[in-house]
Amino acid sequence: MVRLKPMNEEELQAFLDYLIPDYAKEKVEAGVWRAEEAPHLSREAILRLLPEGLATKDQYLYMIEEESGVPIGFIWLYVDQGKQEAFLYEISLYEEWRGRGLGKATMAAMEQKAKELGAKSVGLHVFGHNQRALRLYEKSGYQATDITMKKYL
C-alpha cells in the first residue's frame, strides 16, 4: 500500500523546510518554548541530530510513497545498532493523504524497515495535544512507557 524510498538532497531540503517550523509550532503549542525563540531552537535541535544531512550515521530519512509512486509524506528513523532499538523522529503524511488508512500502513512499513536495519523495538514521542497521532500509534500497537505531565499556574 505504501513504500519507503530513501530521500535525495532536494527532498531533504523540502523535509527540513517543513519540519523546522512545524516542530517549532508543536513546541510552542506544548508550552515548552516561547514563540520568539522557537524557530531558532527548532533549527538547532534538528540540525544537531543531522550534522551530515543524509550521510549522518544511523539516521534514515525516507519519502513515503503511495503504491503508484506518488510522494505522500516523510519519515525520519534513527537506529541504534548497539542497542538494537529504533526511534521514530518524524512521520508526516501530506494533509490531502490523511484519513485514508495510510498512516497505519506507513507505520507497518517503517517497522519492517526498522527490523531490516537490526532493530528489535521502535520508540517514539508524541506531543500530548496531538490526539490524531496518539490514536494512530495506539492502533499500531504502541504503549506509553513514560508520561510527562505539566500544569500551568
The model's pTM is: 0.88
> Does the pLDDT value for residue 25 go beyond 90?
yes
What is the rounded distance in angstroms from the CA atom of residue 76 to the CA atom of residue 53? 12
pLDDT, tens only, 136-146: 888 888 888 88
Quick one: which of 16, 23, 50 has its CA closest to 39?
23
Phi-psi category of residue 62: left, alpha or beta, with phi > 0 → left and psi -120 to 50 → alpha: beta
Q: Which tens digits make up the pLDDT trace of 70-124?
A: 999 999 999 999 999 999 999 999 999 988 889 999 999 999 999 999 999 999 8
Query: What is d(CA 65, CA 47) in angstroms, rounded to the nearest whole number?
Result: 25
